[in-house]
Copies of this chain bind each other. A is one copy, B any other.
Amino acid sequence: MAWEDRQGVYNFNPGPAALPEAVLRRAQEELPSYAGGGLSVLEMSHRSQAYDEIQARAQNGLRRLLGIPDTHRVLFLQGGASLQFAMVPLNFIPEGGAAGYVLTGSWSEKAYQEAERVGLRAAVAASTKEAGYRRIPDWSEVRDEPDWAYVHITTNNTIVGSQWHHLHPSLSVPLVADMSSDICSRPVRVEDYHLIYAGAQKNIGPAGVTVVIVREDWLGQAEEIAKARRLPTMLRYAVHAKNDSRYNTPPVFAVYLVALVAEWTLEQGGLSAMEARNREKADLIYGALDESDGFYQGVVEPGSRSWMNATFRIADPDVEKRFLEEARAKGFLGLAGHRSVGGVRVSMYNAVPVEACAKLREFMDDFRRRHR
């Protein structure tokens, strides 16, 4: 049976990433027939009552987990964060307007560049680029111009391995956040944000669905801008909101998995429990760095370390290469750093069990003793 193949395999992939085994088991069991109806979710009409229920489960699950207030809508779109990089400015920056972007890594740069690529004015609200993105700025460093349509941040930076740990900003303009790689990893005050978006494939589901949480009273404005700009229908948030994410056929099976993952996360105790677990996992890995006497060199400053993606280098490139090879041979998968930066990256999203991090910690300590 294929479940046995999973023994001794630890999925540290940066995304698409590990899903909870309980969710995979449920998906497997229900694959032939959802709720006794005789149809697989894979072949189910998006206009059926069964899908109405699935989508409501996914929405309500996220609402309960994140404490999403009634002021905000929950949408399921396609195209990933990459399409959001264009949709956010195209829908919310009015003609002649601008928006501010906080640059903390590659993905926030891409968001910023995409706003410019589609012909809109993006300004740098803050940047730690000169510091090699090794730290997250303080809110006091973030510029905030009254004529900006919004300020955009990336709450977790998967490539460099940094994360905002001091949210709750007080800005004079709307705040937009790309939470693709840390949504649902800890409690968050959704009411602080006008719009949150996240590709599902790290913490809340498989690749193929993008969650958008948006303040409803911001959508009227977006509708006007989108119309004047002659945006494609599929790029208009207001259209998706009006049609409850079913203007066209949604990615039914991916939304179903979001429902299962959200329900699993609630069963684990919700986001406070997730935060405690994620902190425990991060402590295991960063502990290996801090106790290695410089053998494992963390990439980012301690106060900006990501609980989702821990990044480090080993000074000798040959030893670093051997680390990755040995780790792979021992079943620790997905540890190579992003191709743009190299090194080692330990991605430990919600579904990565504490045990996997404990095993990796053992390996790291052992490897260091053998190679220092």
B257 near A38 with CB under 8 A, answer no
Binary interface profile of A, 14-54, with partner B (CB < 8 Å = 1, else 0)? 11111100001101111111001111101111111000000
Question: A334's closest neighbor in chain B, by CB?
Answer: B45
Whether A250 sits at the interface, judged by CB under 8 Å, is: yes
Cα(A300)–Cα(B202), bound, Å: 48
Contacts of A253 in B (CB 8 A): 206-208, 253-254
Cα(A197)–Cα(B30), bound, Å: 31
Whether A315 sits at the interface, judged by CB under 8 Å, is: no
Contacts of A11 in B (CB 8 A): 39, 43
A residues engaging B (CB < 8 A)?
Answer: 1-3, 5-9, 11, 13-19, 24-25, 27-33, 36-40, 42-48, 78-83, 85-87, 90, 114, 117-119, 199, 201, 206-209, 230-235, 247-254, 257, 331, 333-334, 339, 351
Which of B3, B14, B247 is the one whose CB lies under 8 Å from A45? B14
Contacts of A6 in B (CB 8 A): 32-33, 38-39
Q: How far is the CB of A233 from chain B (nearest CB, A)?
A: 6
Which of B7, B40, B234 is the one whose CB lies under 8 Å from A19? B40
Which of B13, B25, B33, B45 is the one whose CB lies under 8 Å from A44? B13
Extra A-B contacts (5), CB below 8 Å, given A6-B38, A19-B43, A43-B351:
A2-B29, A24-B32, A78-B79, A83-B234, A207-B249
Cα(A257)–Cα(B83), bound, Å: 23
Contacts of A119 in B (CB 8 A): 230
| Most chain B CB within a 10 A radius of its CB, from A46, A85, A199, A206 | A206
22 examples of A-B residue contacts, CB within 8 angstroms? A1-B32, A8-B38, A11-B39, A24-B40, A27-B42, A38-B333, A43-B351, A45-B334, A46-B207, A78-B80, A78-B83, A78-B251, A79-B83, A81-B248, A82-B234, A114-B232, A117-B232, A119-B230, A207-B249, A207-B250, A208-B253, A232-B235
* Known A-B contacts A201-B249, A208-B78, A232-B235; A42 and B13 likewise in contact (beta carbons under 8 Å): no
Q: How many copies does the complex hold?
A: 2
Question: A339's closest neighbor in chain B, by CB?
Answer: B47
B5 near A37 with CB under 8 A, answer yes
Cα(A33)–Cα(B210), bound, Å: 25
B207 near A86 with CB under 8 A, answer no
Cα(A45)–Cα(B12), bound, Å: 10
Contacts of A82 in B (CB 8 A): 233-234, 247-248
Question: A38's closest neighbor in chain B, by CB?
Answer: B9
* Known A-B contacts A32-B24, A33-B3; A254 and B257 likewise in contact (beta carbons under 8 Å): no
Contacts of A254 in B (CB 8 A): 208, 251, 253-254
Question: A253's closest neighbor in chain B, by CB?
Answer: B206
Q: How far is the CB of A208 from chain B (nearest CB, A)?
A: 3
* Known A-B contacts A16-B249, A251-B208, A254-B251; A233 and B2 likewise in contact (beta carbons under 8 Å): no
Question: A351's closest neighbor in chain B, by CB?
Answer: B43
Cα(A15)–Cα(B14), bound, Å: 33
Contacts of A87 in B (CB 8 A): 232
Contacts of A31 in B (CB 8 A): 2, 24, 27-28, 31
Q: How far is the CB of A18 from chain B (nearest CB, A)?
A: 5
Question: A80's closest neighbor in chain B, by CB?
Answer: B248
